[in-house]
Structure 1
């Protein structure tokens, strides 16, 4: 097991020592500088929260010199075109991504442990927020935390990997989960949201969800508002 040290941009709490920790997990081909922008939208709702957006540990081959260009794991087996043409392939495709999520998990777990220890916060004051591949990591790691479940998981435009093993691997209690997805997403088709909710349900894990009409692979103002209020309410 290889553990890589993670770090990334931060936005500290506006009011006194942090009472909550929000960890923002970016998508494939990006880095923490992208998703830390969400913190600026939620600072008013969560004035006592520290925000941090770690850079994923992997560099995408051929993108090393570009801004961003990072990955939590490789996507060689991911084919959004096939998912759009035939959603029945979804389970097989997302299961193929499980090995990558498992490989990246120890580094993210270690980062979360270190951040909670640094701020002297219990696990229930941690929220994981993901976008796209970051949502895959938020769900995979957040539902399997051995040192205490997070207080919330918020996922945008993502998917659940490892659904078949989740019931046996999940660590109770289940955190509140909100999944948000655009109806016109052509990178992670919106059927992934329903597959995720069903997979979570089969593992006995409830989740709330919301579709944003006309939205492609992105986060809109409606999603920001829903997500921010969800975090404020659960943390």
Structure 2
């Protein structure tokens, strides 16, 4: 597939129990500002344990202690989904023009993908997530990261984003964070706008 010289690919990665259709409107809302970006919003590879949606890994009985192993176990299926999309759209040798946009569990998998060094993409935009990867980490240090989180998130506390920022910066990664007062486990209009601005900067770099 032939792609234009300034084209980018953004892969939107949903949270547990959701599906690709839930994040598709986010890409559509950004399209006018970043017309050179193709947005793809796949389903996670597994049916969810507790709903009609999908999951990147099971959260049944998940604990802080066993979560990293579950993230690692989910890597092959995650990588298969990403590889298929990247290949289909002609970006296999252009990962510096690929961006991951995650929400919740999608953010966890996106951060793991770059922190482990498996996917040296241009950037990660992560909403309401955490860094839950097994150590040691060997990150793709050229990847730029924006993390957005609300202080009233009852699913994943916002301190997880602050902790992720500290750990990723210690590894030499470039990380920006936006902590939104009073916001729950969702994406606000303001957060989406800030994220789109970050994406604009990436694609114009």
Which TM class, normalised by the smaller chain length? 0.7 to 0.9
Q: Distance in 2 between matches of 1:135 and 1:157?
A: 7
Deviation per CA, 1:64-114: give whole Å up to 9, x if none.
xx3xx21111113446xxxxxxxxxxxxx1x52112211222222233233
Pairing 1:64-213 to 2, within 5 Å after superposition: 66=52, 69-78=53-62, 93=64, 95-121=65-91, 122-146=94-118, 149-162=120-133, 164-166=135-137, 169-170=138-139, 172-213=140-181
Q: Distance in 1 between matches of 2:50 and 2:124?
A: 32
Q: By how many angstroms is 1:231 displaced?
A: 0.8
SS in 2 for 1:21: strand
When residues 34 and 234 of structure 1 are mapped into structure 2, their CA distance, relative to the original with a 3 A threshold, is same
Which is higher, the Rg of structure 1 or of structure 2? 1
**What is the aligned residue count?**
198
> Does 2:25 correspond to 1:37?
yes
**TM-score normalised according to structure 1 size:** 0.77
Residue pair 2:153, 2:184 contacting (<8 A) in 1 also: yes
Gaps of 5+ in 2: none
**TM-score normalised according to structure 2 size:** 0.88
Deviation per CA, 1:43-70: give whole Å up to 9, x if none.
111112111111111122343xx3xx21
Deviation per CA, 1:171-220: give whole Å up to 9, x if none.
x3330000000011111011111111112123222311011111110011
